[in-house]
């Protein structure tokens, strides 16, 4: 990406955040006025220099010391603070990430969740309502960090991290009800983006951040490193287990788009067989690429399902 494109993309992103805030504020009415009074417009910084910061980093290094580092060594003007995280990757003694200059070693015990207090009213429409992180003494990254960020003339963005982490399945009550179902009918541990309760969970988070912390949160960075069934079948970094999703909600969405569920399922099962054979070095008669390409041409539903 060229530098000019990168700046444009960032500006577009900031505009989207502003638009998102306006949208969630609703139409004209008392609620919109209340939000407008407390929320300053997002600044379109000429140089948007942001960095992600995990919750434990504030605890280990100290909020002021960490902000000193960001400002003095990185010229950072926007903090993307994780406000929702199930992937700690904390530096521990003898761990996989050797960073000797990072504060102290952490406790590997981690529950994860929202690192802020939210009003349950934002989660009335979902079964996923209990996800406040108990970690680090119930640390509230917005209440404790945002005022200090803003006092330095920096902006505070909530880094809303929505990767699929198996521990969510254990730590969020009712979570197994919203997980994806693979092409063979088996439940996975990854949430389905077409499940209404998971969607309400996501929009509840946006509302709880923008309305619940209107004067602290300047924007939201949407974090999500996930892929569809085709890319998950191919594999590589950030893939999740299972060729999914074939749950009732995804099937219904496919029917609305006039995509054949049966043909998609058949195509993906053949694709699964091809990849299993490849993993065992069982080369198809016509070669791997031809076999793969032929499947995509014979079952265009494979690609259609990828973007459901």
Question: Which CB, 33 or 257, lies closer to Zn ion?
Answer: 257
Q: Which tokens in the block code for residue 190?
A: 């990854």
Provide the minimum distance between the beta carbon of 122 and Zn ion in the complex, in angstroms, as a whole number: 23
Which residue stretch of 67-75, 100-108, 231-239, 250-258 sits at the interface with Zn ion (rule: CB under 5 A)? 250-258
Using CB under 5 A as the binding rule, whether residue 149 contacts Zn ion is answered as no
Mark 27-66 with x for binding to Zn ion (rule: CB under 5 A) and - for no binding. ----------------------------------------
Provide the minimum distance between the beta carbon of 229 and Zn ion in the complex, in angstroms, as a whole number: 10
Q: Which tokens in the block code for residue 44?
A: 């379109």
Using CB under 5 A as the binding rule, whether residue 265 contacts Zn ion is answered as no
Integer Cα distance of 276 and 6 in angstroms: 39
Of 238, 269, 260, 276, give the one whose Cα is nearest residue 308.
260
Contacts of 3 (CB under 8 A, 6+ apart): none
- CB burial of 158-171 (b: ≥16 within 10 Å; e: otherwise) equals bbbbbebbebbbeb
Integer Cα distance of 8 and 20 in angstroms: 18
Per CB under 5 A, contacts with Zn ion among 206-245 are: 245
Integer Cα distance of 94 and 96 in angstroms: 7
Using CB under 5 A as the binding rule, whether residue 192 contacts Zn ion is answered as yes
Using CB under 5 A as the binding rule, whether residue 178 contacts Zn ion is answered as no
Which residue stretch of 68-76, 78-86, 188-196, 267-275 sits at the interface with Zn ion (rule: CB under 5 A)? 188-196
Question: Which CB, 79 or 254, lies closer to Zn ion?
Answer: 254
- CB burial of 241-252 (b: ≥16 within 10 Å; e: otherwise) equals ebbbbbbebbbe
Residues in the interface with Zn ion (CB under 5 A) total 6
Provide the minimum distance between the beta carbon of 249 and Zn ion in the complex, in angstroms, as a whole number: 5
**Helix or strand holding residue 80 (H, E):** strand 78-85
Question: Which CB, 91 or 183, lies closer to Zn ion?
Answer: 183
Question: Which CB, 149 or 192, lies closer to Zn ion?
Answer: 192
According to CB under 5 A, which one of 126, 194, 232, 265 is a site residue for Zn ion? Answer: 194
Provide the minimum distance between the beta carbon of 300 and Zn ion in the complex, in angstroms, as a whole number: 20
Using CB under 5 A as the binding rule, whether residue 250 contacts Zn ion is answered as yes
Of 215, 281, 210, 229, give the one whose Cα is nearest residue 18.
210
Of 17, 5, 15, 77, give the one whose Cα is nearest residue 48.
77
Using CB under 5 A as the binding rule, whether residue 247 contacts Zn ion is answered as yes
Residues of this chain that interact with Zn ion (CB under 5 A) are 192, 194, 245, 247, 249-250
């Amino acid at each position: 990406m060229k530098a000019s494109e990168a700046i444009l993309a960032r500006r577009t992103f900031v505009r989207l955040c502003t638009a998102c805030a306006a949208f969630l504020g609703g139409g004209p009415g008392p609620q919109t006025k209340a939000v407008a009074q407390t929320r300053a417009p997002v600044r379109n910084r000429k140089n948007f220099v942001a960095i992600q910061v995990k919750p434990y980093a504030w605890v280990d290094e100290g909020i002021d010391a960490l902000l000193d580092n960001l400002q003095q060594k990185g010229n950072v003007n926007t903090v993307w603070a994780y406000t929702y995280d199930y992937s700690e990757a904390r530096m521990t003694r003898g761990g996989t990430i050797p960073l000797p200059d990072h504060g102290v070693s952490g406790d590997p015990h981690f529950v994860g969740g929202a690192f802020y207090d939210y009003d349950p009213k934002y989660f009335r429409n979902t079964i996923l309502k209990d996800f406040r992180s108990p970690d680090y003494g119930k640390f509230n990254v917005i209440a404790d960090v945002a005022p200090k960020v803003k006092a330095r003339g920096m902006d505070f963005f909530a880094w809303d991290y929505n990767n699929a982490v198996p521990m969510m399945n254990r730590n969020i009550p009712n979570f197994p009800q919203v997980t994806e179902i693979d092409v063979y009918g088996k439940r996975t541990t990854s949430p389905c983006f077409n499940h209404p309760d998971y969607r309400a969970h996501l929009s509840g988070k946006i509302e709880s951040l923008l309305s619940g912390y209107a004067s602290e949160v300047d924007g939201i960075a949407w974090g999500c490193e996930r892929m569809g069934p085709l890319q998950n079948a191919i594999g590589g970094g950030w893939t999740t287990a299972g060729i999914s999703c074939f749950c009732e909600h995804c099937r219904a969405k496919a029917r609305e788009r006039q995509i054949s569920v049966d043909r998609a399922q058949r195509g993906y099962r053949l694709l699964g067989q091809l990849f299993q054979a490849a993993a065992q070095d069982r080369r198809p008669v016509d070669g791997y690429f031809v076999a793969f390409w032929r499947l995509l041409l014979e079952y265009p539903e494979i690609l259609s399902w990828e973007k459901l």
